Amino acid sequence: MEVPVGKKNDKKSKKDKKSKKSREHVPLVRIGVVDTMFARYDMGQAARDELAACAGYGDTFTVIARTVPGFKDLAVAAKNLIEKDGCSIVVALGMPGSAPIDKQCAHEAAQGLMLAQLLTSTPILEVFVHEDESDDPKILASVFENRSRKHARNAYWMLFEPEQLRRRAGQGVRQGFDDAGPLTFR
């Protein structure tokens, strides 16, 4: 598309294009974080806070953030973070509502995130907190904070410390609530 698009007008993306051509330096790894106006908690902030606490932040890797209206808008935004902004992984955060139609919309949003991953061959971590996971706003808020942070950390591990995932294989690891732990065979 030759038309100028507002959200790509930041200076970084222009520099990127330049660096791709000249290949003068190895660019920082970029982690994308995309969240929504619809959610009732600033999930993107939680994810960015966690990433800012990871080793190499600002040095080995950087974070590119976007906000879209609702969770159905996450997929194409995540795809563009990968294709146009050069992100190696994306954390996509949203809050499906509690009505039946919201469940269907969440399904469509999730299918979109799945498809975006497969079309880009790049992981997009879906971080959905369903509004009805708890009636208590405090508990729900803690689920928002915890799950957003845990999946941001997972994204970091997937890029830089995959052995952290390998050693937890089959261990019933959870995000948002306590780990379920492994079953025992004998």
Q: Which of residues 163-182 bind a second copy (CB under 8 A)?
A: 165-166, 168-175, 180-182
* Least gap, CB of 12 to a second copy (angstroms): 13
- The string over 125-160, giving b where at least 16 C-beta atoms fall within 10 Å of a residue's C-beta and e elsewhere, is bbbbbbeebbeeeeebeebbbbbbbbbbbbbbbbbe
Q: Across the beta sheet with 29-36, what order do the strands follow? A: 61-68, 29-36, 89-94, 124-128
Sole binder of a second copy in the list 77, 90, 91, 152 (CB under 8 A): 77
Residue type (1 letter), 91: V
> Under the criterion CB under 8 A, does residue 147 sit at the interface with a second copy?
no
Q: SS3 for 83?
A: helix
* Least gap, CB of 163 to a second copy (angstroms): 9
Q: Fill in the per-residue mask, 91 to 130: x = in contact with a second copy (CB under 8 A), - = not in contact.
A: ----------x-xxxxxxxxxx-xxxxxx-xxxxxx---x
Per-position DSSP letters for 123-182, written without gaps between them: -EEEEE--TTS-SSHHHHHHHHHHHHHHHHHHHHHHHH-HHHHHTTTTS---SSS-----
> Under the criterion CB under 8 A, does residue 32 sit at the interface with a second copy?
no
* Least gap, CB of 159 to a second copy (angstroms): 5
> Under the criterion CB under 8 A, does residue 138 sit at the interface with a second copy?
yes
Whether 93 and 37 have beta carbons less than 8 Å apart is answered as no
Reading the block at residue 35, the tokens are 């969240």
Residue closer to a second copy by CB (options 53, 162) is: 162
> Under the criterion CB under 8 A, does residue 45 sit at the interface with a second copy?
yes
Sole binder of a second copy in the list 145, 146, 147, 152 (CB under 8 A): 145
> Under the criterion CB under 8 A, does residue 79 sit at the interface with a second copy?
yes
Residue closer to a second copy by CB (options 178, 185) is: 185
Q: Fill in the per-residue mask, 47 to 76: x = in contact with a second copy (CB under 8 A), - = not in contact.
A: ------------------xxxxx--xx-xx
